[in-house]
């Protein structure tokens, strides 16, 4: 680490004590952006990164609700409105017991760069609550979502801040929050994305993060004259991103052999085909059961505790949560000759793991580039809502493919090293930074 980076991180640490995830995300960006600023005079002495690490606004609020036994429960709601230089704040909401300010700030900071990469006019934001939907009845989830929106509605709007889903939030939760917003405001506007198709949602939005991830991997492989056909893939998670990454990778001729949840992972030596994926979708999205039930159903599969990174695979797609792939696990993947690692989740690889991949010349796609297809399609949902019409699947999927290929090209433009190796971390950070920085410079010190 350079002296300049160390002193910048000291400054961020002092201003944001006890926020390890946020510091981790800032560290990764600072290491590539500070040297870039140093050789680009137009960005110097403007305190750009110092301004970018400070959210424009953070809203923290009480979310009281009544459970099925009539007992009052209290959770904390947070919305971090990080950066609106290039568009209204945009980013998901996470409902998970681990949610805190550090996690939402890391996600909001990353989102700003990611949204810039999409080429769409989207600023960065993130929010959520420490509420755990797991084990709650449908009515409890509805009452929680309504109470959450009773405060959030004051701060969002179709041109101000447009939240969406993330971990723990799907169609059900978005529907309840949309309904409450409409009741409070007496207006029908696209203030959330990821909506149901019957009330303004977009085709392909559920699929888009996973599909986009696989389109990005296809581009990474293409510059090595490789394709997905016949490759073995290890995926973690079994939620929205993991499911559709599995679907698209299988369609492209790859064999997905693992999926996981917080209890462990399944290894299916024959691969998770279309029918088996349908079983997982029903298990996770409807029955809300554990992944171990897969191994009880399919003879070709076994269930294991822990994470799937000891399984031999050509491609690894961590798609569950932050810091779920560490240095030791990265070494295992490298020993097993992995050729591509691309992040479906946000910051799933620790900094030490990323270093292992880059030293071993494994192609590493960071989340802010590789999983940007979800928010990009949210941007397309916003466009359709504004135009008051719906585009067909082919049109949206075609736009998603183009966006992911463009993001890949931006990473190559800014990240290609002299020996031809592409440092996608550097490429994504610089490409994301340039657009936001230019907009901030144009708009003055605000
Ligand atoms: N849904 C979206 O459009 C986007 C999601 N992401 C990121 O992708 C990741 C997954 O999100 P979704 O699939 O939407 O959420 P989800 O709620 O549908 O699925 C989350 C998955 O992660 C697993 N998980 C959660 N905590 C875990 C832990 N501690 N250990 C192991 N597994 C754990 C869950 O069991 C589940 O399979 C998150 O990092 C999210 O921020 C990134 C871009 C867009
Ligand atoms: O679609 C969105 O606005 C949010 C997507 C998201 O949360 C993410 O990219 O991490």
Average confidence score pLDDT of the chain: 98
Mean pLDDT calculated for residue range 376-398:
98
Q: How far is CA 343 from CA 250, 284, 301, in A?
A: 18, 21, 24
265-283 pLDDT, tens digit per residue, is 999 999 999 999 999 999 9
Ligand nearest to the CA of 195: 2
CATH topology of domain 207-361: Rossmann fold (3.40.50)
Distance 230 CA to ligand 2 centre (A): 30
Q: Give the separation between CA 368 and CA 114, rounded to whole angstroms.
A: 4
C-alpha 165 to ligand 2 mean position (Å): 7
In angstroms, what is the span from residue 332 Cα to ligand 2's centroid?
30
Query: What residue owns the CA closest to ligand 2's atom 3?
Result: 91
Of 209, 206, 248, 207, nearest to 231 by C-alpha is 248
Question: Is residue 128 in contact with ligand 1, taking CB distance under 6 Å?
Answer: no
Beta bridge partners of 127: 79, 93
Chain center to CA of 266: 23
Supply the residue whose CA is at minimum distance from atom 1 of ligand 1: 166
pLDDT tens sequence across 173-185: 999 999 999 999 9
Tell me the torsion sign for CA atoms 247, 248, 252, 257.
negative
Probe target for ligand 1 pocket from 127, 206, 241, with the most ligand atoms within 8 Å of CB = 241
User: What is the per-residue DSSP string for 151-170?
Assistant: HHTTT-BTTTEEEEE-TT--
Determine the pLDDT at residue 332: 98
R_g (Cα) of the chain, nearest Å? 21
Distance 246 CA to ligand 1 centre (A): 14
Q: Give DSSP secondary structure letters for 187-252.
A: -----SSS--GGGT--TTHHHHHHHHHHHHHHHHHHTTT--STT-EEEE---SHHHHHHHHHHHHT
Give the 3-state DSSP-derived string for 249-279, with helices as H, strands as E and coil as C.
HHHCCCEEEEEEECCEEEEECCCCCHHHHHH
d(CA 330, CA 326): 6
Confidence of residue 1 (pLDDT cuts 50, 70, 90): confident
- For 331-349, what is the mean pLDDT? 98
217: how many CB neighbours lie within 10 A of its CB?
30
| pLDDT, tens digit, 9 for 90 and up, residues 185-209 | 999 999 999 999 999 999 999 999 9
Pocket of ligand 2 (CB under 6 A): 90-92, 111, 114, 164, 166, 193, 346, 374-375, 378
> What residues are labeled active site?
126
What is the atom index within ligand 1 of the atom nearest the CA of 241? 13
Structure tokens at 11: 């400054």
For a pocket test of ligand 2, which of 87, 166, 169, 382 has the largest count of ligand atoms closer than 8 A to its C-beta?
166
Nearest to 374 by CA among 92, 178, 79: 92
Task: Give nearest CA residue, ligand 1 atom 24.
Answer: 320
User: What's the pLDDT at 150?
Assistant: 98
Q: Is position 240 annotated in a ligand binding site?
A: yes
- Checking ipTM against 0.95, whether it exceeds it is yes
Instruction: Please give the distance, rounded to the nearest whole angstrom, from the Cα atom of residue 346 to the centre of ligand 2.
Output: 10
φ, ψ (nearest 5 deg) of residue 95? -110, 105
Give the pLDDT confidence score for residue 239 in this predicted structure.
Answer: 96
Q: What integer is the mean pLDDT of 221-249?
A: 97
Distance 237 CA to ligand 1 centre (A): 6
Query: What is the domain partition of the chain in residue ranges?
Result: 54-185, 207-361
The ligand whose atoms approach the alpha carbon of 92 most closely is: 2
Would you state the torsion angle of the CA atoms of residues 416, 337, 274, 94, taken in this order, to the nearest 10 degrees? -60
Distance CA 283, CA 27 (A): 38
Q: Are 120 and 379 in contact (CB under 8 A)?
A: yes
209 labeled binding residue = yes
- Whole-number percent of the chain with pLDDT over 90: 100
Q: What average pLDDT does this structure show over 217-225?
A: 97
The domains spanning 54-185 and 207-361 adopt the same CATH topology = yes
**Nearest ligand to the C-alpha of residue 238?**
1
Q: How many whole angstroms separate alpha carbon 268 and alpha carbon 286?
A: 22
What is the topology classification, in CATH, of domain 54-185?
A: Rossmann fold (3.40.50)
- The whole-number average pLDDT for the span 205-219 is 98
Atom 7 of ligand 2 has which residue's CA nearest to it? 92
Question: Backbone dihedral region of 194: left (phi > 0), alpha (psi from -120 to 50 degrees) or beta?
Answer: left
Q: Are 16 and 41 in contact (CB under 8 A)?
A: no
Closest-lying ligand 2 atom to the alpha carbon of residue 378: 1
pLDDT digits (tens, 9 = 90+) for 32-82: 999 999 999 999 999 999 999 999 999 999 999 999 999 999 999 999 999
Q: Is 378 in the pocket of ligand 1 (CB under 6 A)?
A: no
Distance between CA atoms of 377 and 120, rounded to whole angstroms?
A: 10
Q: Is 18 among the annotated ligand-binding positions?
A: no
Mutational test site, ligand 2, from 81, 108, 111, max ligand atoms within 8 Å of CB: 111
With b for 16 or more beta-carbon neighbours within 10 A and e for fewer, the 55-92 pattern comes to bbebbebebebeeeeeeebebebbbbbbbbbbbbbbbb
Rama region for 318: left / alpha / beta (φ>0; ψ in -120 to 50; rest): beta
């Amino acid at each position: 680490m350079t002296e300049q980076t160390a002193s910048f991180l000291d400054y961020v640490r002092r201003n944001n004590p006890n926020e390890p995830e946020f510091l981790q995300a800032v560290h990764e960006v600072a290491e590539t952006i500070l040297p870039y600023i140093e050789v680009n005079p137009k960005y110097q002495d403007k305190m750009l990164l110092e301004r970018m690490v400070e959210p424009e606004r953070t809203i923290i609020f009480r979310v009281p609700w009544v459970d099925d036994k009539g007992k009052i429960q209290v959770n904390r709601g947070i919305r971090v409105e990080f950066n609106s230089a290039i568009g209204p704040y945009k980013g998901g909401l996470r409902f998970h017991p681990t949610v805190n300010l550090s996690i939402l700030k890391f996600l909001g900071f990353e989102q700003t760069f990611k949204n810039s990469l999409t080429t769409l006019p989207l600023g960065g934001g993130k929010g959520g609550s420490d509420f755990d939907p797991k084990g709650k009845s449908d009515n409890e989830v509805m009452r929680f979502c309504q109470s959450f929106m009773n405060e959030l509605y004051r701060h969002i709007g179709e041109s101000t801040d447009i939240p969406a889903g993330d971990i723990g939030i799907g169609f059900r939760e978005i529907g309840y929050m949309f309904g409450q917003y409409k009741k409070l405001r007496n207006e029908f506007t696209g203030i959330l994305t990821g909506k149901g198709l019957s009330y303004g949602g977009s085709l392909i939005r559920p699929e888009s993060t996973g599909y986009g991830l696989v389109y990005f991997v296809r581009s990474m492989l293409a510059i090595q004259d490789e394709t997905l056909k016949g490759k073995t893939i290890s995926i973690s998670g079994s939620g929205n991103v993991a499911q559709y990454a599995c679907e698209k990778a299988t369609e492209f001729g790859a064999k997905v052999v693992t999926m996981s949840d917080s209890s462990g992972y399944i290894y299916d030596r024959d691969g998770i085909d279309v029918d088996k994926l349908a079983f997982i979708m029903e298990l996770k999205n409807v029955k809300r059961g554990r992944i171990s039930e897969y191994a009880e159903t399919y003879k070709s599969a076994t269930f294991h505790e822990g994470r799937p990174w000891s399984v031999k695979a050509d491609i690894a797609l961590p798609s569950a949560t932050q810091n779920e792939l560490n240095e030791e696990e990265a070494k295992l993947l490298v020993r097993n000759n992995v050729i591509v690692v691309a992040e479906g989740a946000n910051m799933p690889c620790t900094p030490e793991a990323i270093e292992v991949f880059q030293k071993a010349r494994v192609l590493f796609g960071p989340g802010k580039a590789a999983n940007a297809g979800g928010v990009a399609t949210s941007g397309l949902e916003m466009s359709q809502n504004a135009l008051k019409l719906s585009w067909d699947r082919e049109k949206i999927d075609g736009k998603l493919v183009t966006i992911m290929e463009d993001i890949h090209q931006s990473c190559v433009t800014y990240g290609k090293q002299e020996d031809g190796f592409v440092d996608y971390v550097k490429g994504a950070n610089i490409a994301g930074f340039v657009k936001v920085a230019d907009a901030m410079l144009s708009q003055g010190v605000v």
